[in-house]
């Protein structure tokens, strides 16, 4: 998901009324009641067999904040940080102790420390190493806390067990949810690695494994996020750096991430990063799921602002180990030091805050990198995971909380029958060793480098080719540019020209194009064809448009292969040919735009470890938006072609324009992420710049201009609350309704009913969803107090009729949804409340257990976006059952919807 700890501004619907109407139904006798459980903190956790969980502490109950970072010191004590406050140190009882309450002290930092103002806190990363506590402060310019974002070293020099010396190793220009994050110790225990999100500037480094000549490098028509997110953030995005313990020498190690919160080394010293998605892009061709990346030396992972994110096929960046899916990454750790069974010794745990899942990522060496199998190691509803660490006892300790949510500290340990003894690391394979040997040249120039690495530019392993090319780029260009231009091996030539395009001079443009045109395109494999198309693109981007003669040659070279059978190839070919204004490219691309959607690994929701539908009922705050999108997903491949065609200014006919602009009108009927409508509208407006002036009004209307709000980010059919909203609780909401409701505004009540998405799940007067109870007669059965209680506190009473069921499967995964039917062999589970007819079939022989969730599938506090008058109109609409003739309403008053 977008930032860590994000809340949606528009709440999800009067769905808590499920609970109210359903509370009169009879409990299913085959399941226990959901309420009144003895230990709800651990009861909600779903663990793998043999593991046990202990709830150790709830800091929020002691007014100690919401904890988001943790580390053990050299005495086995746990140090933690409140996201917006101080550091605390805990002495934790051993596992299984009768009294698990830890001993806690608040740390005052520095000789003059009296308050947090001059102390230490606001940390999103902690590490104890080199007899020091390293603290990564992420401070959003809080005036009450004087220390700014940066990496600090805390030391106890006088032996009093307090940190009186504070040293700022480096101030970092970045803050907030995409600011500086974590710190980890290097595998050889001689240095540190730090990681920061894409709103943190890369500071001046002493060395750069990834050369600092980065650019946006995408011919795709740039459209920045329509809602303004990260619009001023350019390459290289989030980054990883290596530094010595004193912070004197910093080296950029890897970059191109969106908002990678954490990283971890495996048992053989390879580094992995857990990167975030941008959920507002869901349904768009540039959407990238949360993913685990193998952060090798000089690696680039291609985050760019807006729609300019690089394709995973680009050879100048690397592909992920595994795409996980939607979520909010907060922590990554490796289980090499955990006292867990052998199957976990090569496993990463990736924490997702939004959906409360610890993803077990079982790494498998694959050449110079890795693939992975996925397991749901631990989950809970709700379980806003923030950080975790393996303790000195080999147990897993983890935190929940963030954004001032209720915070808890847990311990998980293995108590089963399998052996938990340490397992020797397997030998590093030859491809991994080769990659590492090439990475030794990612530094100062070396006269042996070119001769050593050049042959590996054609190695079949992508990570080895990448390491070899970066080794070339670290050498003086004059030593290898002619070698690159004269190269006769087609594969070596492609990657040598990519290197030269990134470092050479404009004067070499013609020679580089000539070299690429010598390669026989037809004889290349599809991945190699994508590589040469990227090489052409980089030459265009770094040196400019080729002259007319070479433009014609390139068009003649590529045009016969467009369209291709492969969707990813069609993206790359359309980009190059539209940029070059190739004859016939517009009708060819329109034909693809109108054709059945081509499968591609790059479209939203492609190959991911967790299916989007599986996440819906784990967090209704996000889940109902996912459900709405899955019901009417945009065709991402078509969107790519439509956006690319907005660059075309020539060779249009009225008939082609007619076909093209009609597509946009249809595109507005699909449901994507929050920025979907805005991106489509921006592409539409780019295209309108290329139509005759006297036809702009016509094509604007044809393409759906009248459907849009003034800012182009939303459709006008919804009237949003004016607010300002309020944190509504029963104690401040009930007094609003002490007097009878009279003279309320029917239209505004109906608008609030739709704006809070009640109609998605509930029917009223024959219209709306069917998965929740009909609300037409609600006002005749319940008081305003009953309604408010169900809306504000949906978890207070939950009926099995509308509860989610959590199924644990034998393969370690789990499924969450509503059990709609079952027979002797099968459970039928509905996961999408907007498509309840679609069910997942679970064979009972594959199910270990199933139980009701103790949390309503509906989101509480849904009325917080409404002001008092809007809340009154909504309640009047509910009490009247949508009948505008009810005496509760005054004469009908029209409420104008936002228009153009």
Which residue's entry shows tokens 């397992």? 423
3-state secondary structure (DSSP) of residue 84: coil
- pLDDT value at position 236? 98
The model's pTM: 0.87
Among residues 2, 11, 170, 183, which one has the least CA distance to residue 81? 183
* Rounded-to-integer distance, Cα 697 and Cα 687, Å: 13
* Rounded-to-integer distance, Cα 168 and Cα 414, Å: 40
* Rounded-to-integer distance, Cα 606 and Cα 109, Å: 48
* Rounded-to-integer distance, Cα 575 and Cα 556, Å: 15
- 753-766 b/e with 16+ CB inside 10 Å = b? bbbbbbbbbbbbee
- Looking only at the bridges linking them, the beta strands covering 805-809 and 45-47 are unpaired
* Rounded-to-integer distance, Cα 186 and Cα 189, Å: 5
Greatest Cα pair distance, the chain, in angstroms, is 90
Strand partners, 192: 185, 243
Q: 280 with 258: CB under 8 angstroms?
A: no
Return the structure tokens found at 156.
């106890």
- 349-370 b/e with 16+ CB inside 10 Å = b? bbbbbbbbbbbbbbbebbbbbb
3-state secondary structure (DSSP) of residue 29: coil
2 Cβ contact partners less than 8 Å away, ≥ 6 residues apart: 229, 259, 276, 277, 278, 279, 280, 328
Among residues 861, 840, 858, 859, which one has the least CA distance to residue 801? 858
* Residue 570 exposure: Cα atoms within 13 Å on the Cβ side: 28
What are the φ/ψ torsions at residue 245 (nearest 5 degrees)?
A: -60, -30
* Rounded-to-integer distance, Cα 559 and Cα 529, Å: 13
Q: 798 with 34: CB under 8 angstroms?
A: yes
* Rounded-to-integer distance, Cα 593 and Cα 638, Å: 5
CA dihedral 681, 563, 310, 688 (to 10 degrees): -20
- pLDDT value at position 798? 67
Other CB atoms within a 10 A radius of the CB of residue 786 amount to: 14
Q: 82 with 60: CB under 8 angstroms?
A: no
Which residue's entry shows tokens 């020209």? 497
Among residues 49, 39, 37, 177, which one has the least CA distance to residue 100? 39
- pLDDT value at position 687? 98
Return the structure tokens found at 454.
């050049």
The parts of the chain modelled with pLDDT lower than 50 are: 1-37, 112-118, 602-606, 893-900
Query: Nearest-5° angle of CA 856, CA 858, CA 863?
Result: 130
Among residues 233, 236, 231, which one has the least CA distance to residue 214? 236
Q: 326 with 612: CB under 8 angstroms?
A: yes
* Rounded-to-integer distance, Cα 253 and Cα 208, Å: 7
- pLDDT value at position 13? 37
3-state secondary structure (DSSP) of residue 52: strand
3-state secondary structure (DSSP) of residue 589: helix
Burial class (CB in 10 A: 0-12, 13-18, 19+), 554: buried
DSSP string, 775-818: -TTHHHH--HHHHHHHHH-TTSS--GGG--EEEEETTS-EEEEE
Strand partners, 126: 135
pLDDT in tens, 497-518: 999 999 999 999 999 999 999 9
666 Cβ contact partners less than 8 Å away, ≥ 6 residues apart: none
Q: 343 with 811: CB under 8 angstroms?
A: no
- 3-32 b/e with 16+ CB inside 10 Å = b? bbbbeeebbbbbbbbbbbbbeeeeeeeeee
Cis peptide before 563 (omega within 30 of 0): yes
Q: 138 with 146: CB under 8 angstroms?
A: no
Cα–Cα separations (whole angstroms), residue 437 to 208, 347, 363, 434: 18, 25, 22, 5
Return the structure tokens found at 281.
């892009």
Query: Nearest-5° angle of CA 214, CA 217, CA 223?
Result: 120
């Amino acid at each position: 998901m977008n930032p860590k700890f994000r809340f949606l501004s528009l709440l999800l619907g009067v769905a808590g009324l499920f609970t109210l109407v359903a509370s009169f139904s009879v409990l299913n006798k085959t399941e226990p009641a959901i309420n009144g459980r003895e230990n709800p903190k651990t009861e909600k956790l779903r663990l793998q067999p043999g593991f046990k969980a202990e709830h150790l502490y709830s800091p929020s109950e002691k007014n100690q904040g919401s904890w988001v970072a943790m580390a053990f010191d050299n005495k086995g004590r746990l140090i933690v940080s409140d996201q917006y406050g101080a550091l605390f140190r805990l002495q934790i009882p051993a596992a299984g102790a009768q009294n698990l309450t830890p001993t806690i002290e608040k740390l005052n930092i520095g000789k003059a420390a009296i308050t947090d103002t001059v102390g230490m806190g606001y940390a999103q990363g902690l590490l104890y190493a080199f007899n020091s506590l390293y603290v990564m402060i992420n401070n959003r310019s809080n005036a009450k806390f004087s220390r700014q974002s940066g990496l600090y070293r805390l030391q106890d020099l006088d032996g009093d067990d307090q940190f009186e010396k504070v040293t700022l190793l480096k101030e970092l220009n970045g803050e907030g949810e995409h600011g500086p994050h974590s710190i980890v110790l290097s595998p050889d225990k001689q240095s540190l690695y730090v990681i920061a999100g894409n709103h943190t500037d890369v500071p001046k480094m002493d060395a750069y494994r990834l050369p600092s000549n980065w650019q946006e490098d995408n011919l795709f028509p740039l459209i920045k996020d329509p809602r303004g997110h990260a619009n001023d953030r350019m390459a290289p995005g989030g980054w990883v750096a290596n530094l010595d313990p004193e912070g004197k020498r910093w080296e950029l190690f890897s970059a191109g991430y969106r908002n990678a919160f954490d990283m971890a080394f495996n048992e053989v010293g390879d580094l992995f990063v857990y990167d975030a998605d941008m959920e507002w892009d869901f349904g768009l061709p540039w959407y990238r799921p949360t993913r685990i990346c193998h952060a090798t030396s000089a690696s680039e992972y291609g985050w760019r602002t807006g729609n300019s994110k690089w394709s995973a096929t680009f050879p100048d960046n690397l592909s992920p180990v595994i795409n996980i899916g939607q979520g909010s990454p907060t922590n990554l750790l490796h289980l090499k030091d955990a006292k867990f069974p052998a199957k976990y010794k090569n496993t990463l745990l990736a924490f997702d805050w939004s959906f409360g899942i610890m993803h077990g990522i079982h790494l498998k060496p694959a050449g110079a990198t890795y693939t992975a199998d996925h397991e749901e190691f631990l989950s809970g509803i709700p379980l806003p995971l923030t950080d975790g660490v393996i303790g000195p006892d080999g147990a897993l300790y983890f935190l929940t909380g963030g954004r001032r949510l209720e915070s808890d500290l847990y311990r998980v340990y293995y108590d089963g029958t399998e052996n938990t003894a340490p397992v020797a690391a397997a030998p590093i394979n030859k491809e991994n060793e080769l990659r590492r040997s090439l990475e030794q040249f990612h530094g100062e120039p070396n006269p042996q480098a070119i001769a050593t690495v050049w042959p590996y530019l054609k190695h079949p392993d992508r990570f080895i080719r990448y390491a070899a090319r970066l080794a070339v780029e670290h050498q003086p260009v004059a030593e290898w540019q002619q070698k690159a231009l004269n190269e006769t091996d087609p594969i070596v030539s492609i990657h040598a020209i990519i290197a030269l395009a990134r470092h050479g001079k404009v004067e070499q443009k013609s020679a580089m194009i000539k070299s690429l045109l010598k390669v026989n395109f037809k004889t290349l494999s599809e991945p190699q064809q994508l590589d040469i198309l990227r090489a052409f693109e980089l030459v265009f981007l770094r040196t400019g448009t080729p002259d007319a003669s070479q433009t014609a040659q390139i068009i003649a070279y590529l045009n016969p292969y467009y369209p291709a059978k492969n969707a990813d190839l069609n993206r790359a070919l359309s980009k190059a040919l539209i940029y070059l204004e190739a004859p016939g490219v517009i009708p060819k691309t329109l034909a693809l735009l109108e054709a059945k959607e081509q499968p591609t690994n790059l479209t939203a929701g492609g190959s991911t470890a967790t299916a989007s539908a599986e996440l819906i009922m784990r967090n209704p705050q996000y889940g109902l938006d996912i459900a709405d999108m899955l019901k009417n997903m945009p065709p991402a491949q078509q969107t790519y072609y439509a956006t690319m065609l907005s660059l075309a200014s020539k060779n249009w006919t009225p008939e082609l324009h007619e076909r093209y602009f009609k597509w946009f009108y249809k595109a507005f009927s699909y449901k994507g992420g929050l920025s979907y409508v805005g991106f489509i509208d921006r592409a539409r407006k780019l295209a309108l710049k290329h139509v005759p002036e006297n036809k702009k009004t016509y094509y604007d209307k044809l393409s759906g201009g009248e459907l849009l709000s003034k800012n182009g980010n939303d459709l006008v059919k919804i009237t949003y609350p004016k607010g300002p909203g309020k944190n509504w609780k029963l104690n401040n909401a009930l007094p609003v309704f002490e007097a009878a409701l009279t003279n309320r505004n029917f239209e505004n009540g109906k608008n609030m009913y739709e704006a809070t998405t009640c109609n998605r799940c509930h029917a009223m007067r024959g219209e709306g969803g069917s998965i929740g109870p009909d609300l037409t007669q609600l006002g005749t059965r319940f008081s305003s107090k009953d309604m408010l209680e169900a809306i504000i506190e949906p978890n207070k009473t939950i009926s099995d009729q509308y509860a989610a069921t959590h199924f644990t499967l034998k393969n370690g995964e789990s499924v969450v949804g509503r059990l709609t039917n079952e027979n002797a062999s099968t459970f039928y589970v509905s996961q999408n409340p907007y498509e309840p007819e679609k069910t997942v079939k679970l064979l009972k022989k594959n199910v270990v257990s199933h139980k009701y969730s103790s949390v309503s599938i509906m989101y509480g506090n849904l009325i917080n976006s409404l002001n008092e008058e809007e809340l009154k109109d909504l309640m009047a609409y509910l009490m009247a059952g949508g009948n505008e003739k009810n005496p509760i309403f005054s004469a009908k008053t029209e409420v104008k919807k936002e228009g153009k």
